[in-house]
Amino acid sequence: MISGSRTCLSFPPVENALSEPNGLLAVGGDLSPQRLLEAYSRGIFPWFNEDDPILWWSPDPRMVLFPNELKISRSLRKTLKKDHYQIRTDCSFTQVMHACAAPRKGQAGTWIHPQMVAAYTMLHEKGLAHSIETWMDGVLVGGLYGVSLGKVFFGESMFSLVPDASKIAFVHLVKKLQCWEYGLIDCQVKTGHLASLGAREISRVEFGQKLDTLINGSKPGSKWHFDRVLIE
């Protein structure tokens, strides 16, 4: 583990990450677009409290979803077939981030503080960070955001104000990524919520190998539009 400077964009090798706490790799640096893109391309992400220095992580194992392994429960499939919601993309990115940052049961604070919101909004403006949003009766009720590089989507956080709202957005995201031939969705660390949707853990080594293949030849970003998504 090292303390990063504000001028050097390089990170130490991910195999240098600590096993306890799992994945802590580096401390310091900044959240410039250049540094964030360098981090994500190597399977590293920032996660830290507002009053702490920036902490960079590369956990082992890594929770991922291969788009073709998406699982949709019978009850969720029924919900998806209803017409009571609308899916929008990149319409209210900052609003989605703020909603993800709202206090949750059992949590004392949030890691999605103003510094993080500003940093990812900059990536959004460059067409590299995206929000997938569930709206009902003109109100944003759920969604998620993350970073897209090459054929990889790096999920960051999601929220729901009504049952299944984040799952609705997530399923539409995965279905569209299947159409776009994405190979991987990074879920970072294991949760029961993501496991129920088909996500599973792989080793850091395998994760890095996937990134090397799928991010190669990454093109400039642009705003996303989900013109048509089929929910079977």
Residue 5, pLDDT > 60, answer: no
For the chain, what percent of residues have pLDDT higher than 90? Answer: 82
Q: What are phi and psi of 159, to 5 degrees?
A: -150, 160
Nearest alpha-carbon partner for 148 in 218, 65, 229, 227: 218
| Cβ atoms < 10 Å from Cβ of 178 | 14
Contacts of 222 (CB under 8 A, 6+ apart): 127
150's CB contacts (< 8 A; 6+ apart) are 214, 215, 216, 217, 218, 219
SS3 of 205, please?
A: helix
Model confidence band, residue 186 (pLDDT cutoffs 50, 70, 90)? very high
* Mean pLDDT, residues 172-183 taken together: 96
CA 199, 158, 165 angle in degrees (round to 5)?
Answer: 95
Tokens of 36: 């964030």
pTM, rounded to two decimals: 0.93
CA neighbor of 10 nearest in space, from 33, 39, 30: 39
CA distance 95 to 158: 12
Q: How confident is the model at residue 110 (pLDDT cuts 50, 70, 90)?
A: confident
% helix / strand / coil in the chain, to the nearest 5? 30, 25, 45
Look at 232 and 171; give whichever has higher pLDDT.
171
Greatest mean pLDDT range, 44-58, 92-106, 211-225? 44-58
As a whole number of angstroms, the distance between CA 144 and CA 100 comes to 8
